[in-house]
Amino acid sequence: MIHIEVSTDTVMTCGHDAAVIALANEQVLSTSAQQVDEASQQCLSRYLATGDQKGDFGDWGILYDVAGMQASRLVLVGSGSDDLSLMKLQRLAAKVARQLQKTGVEKASLYFTDLSVGGASLAEKVHAVAQGVWLGLYAFTHHQTKAKKASVLSHISIAVNADADLEQAQAALQKAKAVASGMILARNLGNEPGNVCTPTYLGDQAEALSHPKLDVQVWDKAAIEHQGLRGLLAVNQGSSEEPRFIVLNYQGGKPEQKSIALVGKGLTFDSGGISIKPSPAMDEMKFDMCGSAAVLGVFKAITEMNLPVNVKGFISSTENMPSASAYKPGDVLESYKGVTIEVLNTDAEGRIILADALTYACEQDPACVIDYATLTGACVIALGAQASGLLGNNQDLIDQVHAASMTSGDRAWPMPMFEEYQEQIESKIADIKNTGGRAAGTVTAACFLSRFVDERPWVHLDIAGTAWNMEGSDLCVSGATGAGVALTVDFLEKNAV
């Protein structure tokens, strides 16, 4: 991760290679822009009068050796016409960082905290800018033997107005760093191919998280058999990779405070099993463990922050493969809870391994349960890459998670769970079946999960559309995004003591 700091340098006194200011469509100058303009005999106003740069979101211009400035470059980046949101500010910072990476700039200062961003506080703006820079510059290069030409960009400074702002800006920067490193862990795990990121590897990565208040247990196949997680074992039947069940326990809060449980789907490769998937894009099913990556990313972030909250994590991990020993369409399984499941499609495996994890999580008596899963293609159709599906049994918890998702920019959007949907998973020969037909696929998958939680508040996040992005976006060049981490840290912070 590139070095980021906060400073009170002004555009004029900035001693770095580049000072970056934002330019809106309306060409209303920000405080920093006004400063340069006045000190440079309206250099900026004359530039804008040429019409060479309109201020459209992300457009880019550089003025060199502006009179009165110490930095040799004044970079102007368009912030667009709308009132900026924190999410857009984050995207803007990501765009700028990536663009700067292509230049000879080693050290740059960003003058973005003087922009008006809704009612956002300084801390929120610093957080958004820093997170944007770190996420925008992320690249997954582990497997490239010929390093691409290295960028010289090594140092970003986020400017704030006054010395009195430094302390809160510094705290915001630290929090942003924790969240970004959690997201980067989640991205790295997601991007690792299935032959590297196996259930065993996920277990090792969980064990590598270390903190005095964190305990990690990784169960091997024998331990999973001993516990009777038969759903996880059934999905694992066709694979030659051993399954893992991972239990994390972070006790950062008061001992008497109940934990919040996070449950993750860790399908390290989902071929569909005997109900095999079509070949095109099947490679993307290495990302089917992004729910578990989100859980591990959250633990990384909260341990780095020393967040005063108690959190338990539960990850079910296996591959889903076809073979002579694989579970088959028509099979009836008995889950860990005892509920019997008719398997109509072996590709609806995520709900089966999550069922056991949810039951086990509830047995540990948490205050509430949140699960993360790349569960349904239907959710990609419903919400695309812009929001995760949000379902659950408790309106208050749904509202809290929804609110956290909107403030963090890691968006999730509510979907209904009317009881009539439950009829779609009724089985003729077992208690329930593992598919509910094409209609409302995301909802019926959540209905299936709901059979394995008790009355305590539970929400399910379907991150199938948000967990990875092959085309890329401002915040994510390509591949795993780290979805679920930021919203959860935000939620946990609000629940901290």
Supply the residues annotated as catalytic. Answer: 277, 351
311 lies in the binding site for ligand BES (CB under 6 A): no
105 SS3 class: coil
Task: Between 109 and 236, name the residue whose CB sits nearer to ligand BES.
Answer: 236
| Dihedral-angle region of residue 132 (phi above 0 means left; psi in -120 to 50 means alpha; beta otherwise) | alpha
40 lies in the binding site for ligand BES (CB under 6 A): no
462 lies in the binding site for Zn ion (CB under 5 A): no
Total chain residues near Zn ion (CB under 5 A): 4
Task: Between 12 and 380, name the residue whose CB sits nearer to ligand BES.
Answer: 380
347 lies in the binding site for ligand BES (CB under 6 A): yes
| Dihedral-angle region of residue 280 (phi above 0 means left; psi in -120 to 50 means alpha; beta otherwise) | beta
Q: How many CA within 13 A on the CB side of residue 231?
A: 30
Considering only residues 34, 345, 364, 422, which one is a binding residue for ligand BES as defined by CB under 6 A? 345
CB atoms within 10 A of CB 267: 29
376 lies in the binding site for ligand BES (CB under 6 A): yes
Considering only residues 62, 282, 339, 380, which one is a binding residue for ligand BES as defined by CB under 6 A? 380
Output Rg (C-alpha) for the chain, integer angstroms.
Answer: 24
The item of ligand BES, Mn ion, Zn ion, none sharing an interface with residue 37, based on CB under 5 to 8 Å by kind, is none
Cβ(115)–Cβ(163) below 8 Å: no
* 388 contacts: CB under 8 Å, gap ≥ 6: 379, 405, 410, 411, 412, 413, 461, 462, 463, 465, 466, 483, 484
Least gap, CB of 462 to Zn ion (angstroms): 11
Task: Between 66 and 290, name the residue whose CB sits nearer to ligand BES.
Answer: 290
* 426 contacts: CB under 8 Å, gap ≥ 6: 432, 433
Which string of DSSP letters, residue by residue, matches 3-63?
EEEEE---TTT--SSEEEEEEETT-PPPHHHHHHHHHTTSHHHHHHHTTS----TT-EEEE
Tokens at 140, concatenated: 């997954």
Considering only residues 349, 371, 474, 490, which one is a binding residue for ligand BES as defined by CB under 6 A? 349
Q: How far apart are CA 343 and CA 479, in angstroms?
A: 31
Q: How many CA within 13 A on the CB side of residue 10?
A: 15
> Position 469: which residue type?
N
Least gap, CB of 345 to Mn ion (angstroms): 8
Considering only residues 194, 291, 313, 350, which one is a binding residue for Zn ion as defined by CB under 5 A? 350
Task: Between 68 and 384, name the residue whose CB sits nearer to ligand BES.
Answer: 384
71 lies in the binding site for Zn ion (CB under 5 A): no
- Orientation angle between helical segments 290-305 and 485-494, nearest 10 degrees: 40
**Interacting positions 279-298 with Zn ion (CB under 5 A):** 288
435 lies in the binding site for ligand BES (CB under 6 A): yes
Q: How far apart are CA 34 and CA 114, in angstroms?
A: 11
Q: How far apart are CA 70 and CA 173, in angstroms?
A: 26
371 lies in the binding site for Zn ion (CB under 5 A): no
288 lies in the binding site for ligand BES (CB under 6 A): yes
| Site mask for ligand BES (CB under 6 A), range 256-275, x = bound | --------------x-----
The item of Zn ion, Mn ion, ligand BES, none sharing an interface with residue 410, based on CB under 5 to 8 Å by kind, is none
Q: How far apart are CA 441 and CA 351, in angstroms?
A: 12
463 lies in the binding site for Zn ion (CB under 5 A): no
Least gap, CB of 277 to Mn ion (angstroms): 7
**Interacting positions 438-497 with ligand BES (CB under 6 A):** 441, 464
Burial class of residue 102 in the structure, from the number of CB atoms within 10 Å of its CB (0-12 exposed, 13-18 middle, 19+ buried): exposed
Task: Between 21 and 290, name the residue whose CB sits nearer to Zn ion.
Answer: 290
319 lies in the binding site for Zn ion (CB under 5 A): no
Q: How far apart are CA 130 and CA 21, in angstroms?
A: 15
Task: Between 191 and 376, name the residue whose CB sits nearer to ligand BES.
Answer: 376
| Site mask for Zn ion (CB under 5 A), range 248-277, x = bound | -------------------x--x-------
Q: Where on the chain is the footprint of Mn ion (CB under 5 A)?
A: 270, 347
Least gap, CB of 347 to Mn ion (angstroms): 4
Strands (E) in 289-387, as ranges, are 310-320, 332-334, 340-342, 368-373
350 lies in the binding site for ligand BES (CB under 6 A): yes
Nearest residue relative to ligand BES (C-beta): 377
> Would you tell me which residues interact with Zn ion (CB under 5 A)?
267, 270, 288, 350
> Would you tell me which residues interact with ligand BES (CB under 6 A)?
270, 288, 345, 347-350, 374-378, 380, 435, 441, 464
